[in-house]
Structure formats: structure tokens, C-alpha cells
């Protein structure tokens, strides 16, 4: 059992700790990491410099830095990977909820909800700044039906069967815990610094594995976003920060981009309501008379409705 301890105020400032997290920060940062982060401050430093400061061997300094890097409490400098920078809570929290999930769940539910809302708000603010800065050049993710998503992934893979993808838990669902969808649903081919693989997480999957997983998640009711950078998520709207932020900002079509829209063949529809139950955006609705109504302006083109319709009354078309 972890021992609660007081945290220095200068650390909170550097780590950008919001008030709701402060009582639980001893779970997220070790005492050794606290001292290391305060030492690193705002300037990148080497293991040799850390060894001299703490009066330890270079080997021990490297071990401390690498352990903190693994836990996302330290980042590597993009200018020089031999140098390290202090991370912030925003960098660390997702790793904590993903890979120390049992400990995260010991925090009272009401407080976890407040922390999750802070995390979404911070993600939303950062997203808005990026959109405002990039303007018409902003491009990150597309919402795609499963077949189109798989095609996009195959293109990213360049036709290689042993594609360099790896699978990790969804940090949105491990943090929010608002649903019972599968958790290990995030794919990436980013192997660079400050990424999950470089920190020691994830398991590699082949392109055939990816195809099977995508269809499995699709049947489960998860929708898919694909980034040109090679990051693929299978999402919902109750936990997913991407869609929660997009709904807050009203960025549909910009972030994420919407490429498709559903249409309904009223002659084939038997008004079973499965589409209404599975639509993440309320585009389908069963009225008081038991008639399924469709509002295309609410559709994000994820294709879940098309896959779910046993009568093939729904079709997804490219915009």
C-alpha cells in the first residue's frame, strides 16, 4: 500500500497539478520522481548532470531517468534524445490510468469524475489552440466506416503484412470508465520518442490482426478514427476525449473530419430501432409511434448503423 506524503508546492507549480488531483498525487509521482522533476525544471539535462547533482553514479542516474521516462513523468528532449525534460500531469495521467488502473480505481468515483472532466477540458483547450493556430491547414483524424478505415490502415502500412502497428489500451476509457466497451482498442505505428512503444508499452500486431480487430470492434459498436500519422482509435462518445472535445467545440467536419453520411431506404426499414440504440450521435430516433426517424445533419458517417441493420435499409455514402 502506498504511503501518503506531502508534496512540495514548487513541484505542483512545475507539474501543473490541478487542485482535484493534489490529494492523490502521491499515487501518481514517487518521491524520487518528485525530486527529479524539480531538478530538471524547464531546462533539458543529461544523466551526467543529474548524477553530479544527486551525488550518484551515472548508471544510477540513467536508471532513475529511464524509470521516470517509462512512467511518463519525464520526457526526452526532441532536440537531443540524450537530454531529459520534466513532464507534467497531463503527460502522465493517461499512462497512470492505463497501466496502473487498479490503483486509479481506488480513488473515489466522484473525484475520478472531476479529474476526468479536468483532463477533457485540458485536451479541449489544447485542441482549440492548435485548430486556431493551423486554421485551414489543420488536419488530424477522419471518422471512417470500417471498410474505409481498413483501407486507410493498409495504405499507411504500405502493403507490408507484418506492419509496424502496436496495440494499447484506450486512455479515454481507462480514465472515464463510463461504458463497458473493450478497452485495448488503440493502434499506432509511431515508434518515436515520448510515445507509448518507446516508453515500453504496447504489443505488436500484424496487418491481418488489425483487420480482424477492426471488424470485431465495429460489431461491438465502436466507431473508427484514422490519423494520417498512423494513429487509429475505435471510439464512442461517453469516454472518448476526441468526440467529447469535438462536441464541446462544435468542430464536426474539422476535427475529426467527416467523410461519409448515412441514408435510409424507408421501404426496407422495419423500424426495429437497432440503429437508434447503437448510434452515438442520436441521428436515429424512435418516436412515440414506434417509427424510426433519421436526421442526417446529426450523422458523423461512422457506419455503425449500416453494419447493424439486418434489413440493409441503411447505406453509407461518401460526401
Specify the pTM. 0.94
Q: How far apart are CA 304 and CA 314, in angstroms?
A: 10
User: Which tens digit of pLDDT belongs to each residue from 234-293?
Assistant: 999 999 999 999 999 999 999 999 999 999 999 999 999 999 999 999 999 999 999 999
Torsion of CA 5, 9, 10, 15, to 10 degrees: 70
Decide if pLDDT at 164 tops 90: no
The structural domains of the chain, with segments of one domain joined by +, span 9-96, 120-258, 260-318
User: Which tens digit of pLDDT belongs to each residue from 140-159?
Assistant: 899 999 999 999 999 999 87
Question: What b/e sequence results for 262-297 when a residue is b if at least 16 CB atoms lie within 10 Å of its CB, and e otherwise?
Answer: bebeeeebebbebbbebbbbebbebeeeeebebeee
Candidates 3.90.1010.10, 1.10.10.10, 3.30.70.20, 3.30.559.10; CATH matching 9-96: 1.10.10.10
CATH number corresponding to 260-318 = 3.30.70.20
CA-only gyration radius of the chain, Å: 22
pLDDT band at 96; cut points 50, 70, 90 = very high
pLDDT value at residue 5: 84
pLDDT value at residue 6: 86
Alpha helices in the chain (DSSP H): 9-15, 25-28, 31-40, 47-54, 58-70, 89-99, 101-104, 109-134, 146-157, 171-176, 196-199, 207-220, 241-249, 274-278, 304-308
pLDDT band at 134; cut points 50, 70, 90 = very high
pLDDT value at residue 1: 58
User: Which tens digit of pLDDT belongs to each residue from 16-68?
Assistant: 999 999 999 999 999 999 999 999 998 999 999 999 999 999 999 999 999 99
Q: What percentage of the chain reaches a pLDDT higher than 90? A: 92
CB 302 within 8 A of CB 223: yes
9-96 and 260-318 share one fold: no
CB 225 within 8 A of CB 186: no
What letter does residue 73 receive in the DSSP assignment? S
Amino acid at each position: 500500500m502506498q504511503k501518503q506524503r506531502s508534496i512540495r508546492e514548487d513541484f505542483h507549480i512545475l507539474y501543473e497539478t490541478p487542485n482535484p488531483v493534489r490529494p492523490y498525487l502521491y499515487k501518481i509521482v514517487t518521491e524520487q520522481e518528485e525530486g527529479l522533476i524539480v531538478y530538471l525544471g524547464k531546462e533539458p539535462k543529461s544523466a551526467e548532470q543529474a548524477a553530479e547533482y544527486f551525488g550518484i553514479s551515472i548508471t544510477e542516474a540513467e536508471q532513475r531517468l529511464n524509470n521516470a521516462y517509462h512512467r511518463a513523468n519525464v520526457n526526452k528532449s526532441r532536440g537531443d534524445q540524450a537530454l531529459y525534460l520534466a513532464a507534467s500531469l497531463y503527460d502522465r495521467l493517461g499512462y497512470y490510468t492505463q497501466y496502473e488502473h487498479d490503483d486509479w480505481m481506488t480513488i473515489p468515483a466522484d473525484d475520478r469524475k472531476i479529474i476526468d472532466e479536468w483532463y477533457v477540458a485540458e485536451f479541449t483547450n489544447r485542441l482549440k489552440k492548435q485548430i486556431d493556430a493551423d486554421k485551414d491547414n489543420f488536419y488530424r483524424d477522419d471518422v471512417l466506416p470500417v471498410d474505409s478505415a481498413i483501407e486507410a490502415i493498409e495504405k499507411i502500412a504500405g502493403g507490408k503484412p507484418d506492419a509496424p502497428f502496436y496495440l494499447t489500451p484506450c486512455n479515454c476509457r481507462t480514465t472515464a470508465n463510463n461504458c463497458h466497451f473493450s478497452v485495448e482498442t488503440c493502434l499506432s505505428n509511431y515508434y518515436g520518442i515520448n510515445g507509448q512503444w518507446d516508453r515500453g508499452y504496447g504489443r505488436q500486431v500484424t496487418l491481418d490482426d488489425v483487420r480482424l480487430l477492426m471488424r470485431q470492434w465495429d460489431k461491438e459498436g465502436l466507431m473508427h478514427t484514422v490519423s494520417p500519422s498512423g494513429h487509429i482509435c475505435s471510439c464512442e462518445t461517453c469516454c472518448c476525449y476526441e468526440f467529447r472535445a469535438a462536441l464541446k467545440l462544435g468542430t464536426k467536419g474539422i476535427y475529426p473530419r467527416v467523410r461519409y453520411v448515412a441514408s435510409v431506404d424507408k421501404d426496407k426499414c422495419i423500424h426495429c430501432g437497432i440503429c437508434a440504440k447503437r448510434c452515438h450521435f442520436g441521428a436515429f430516433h424512435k418516436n412515440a409511434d414506434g417509427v424510426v426517424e433519421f436526421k442526417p445533419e446529426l450523422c458523423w458517417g461512422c457506419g455503425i448503423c449500416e453494419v447493424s441493420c439486418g434489413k440493409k435499409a441503411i447505406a453509407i455514402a461518401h460526401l
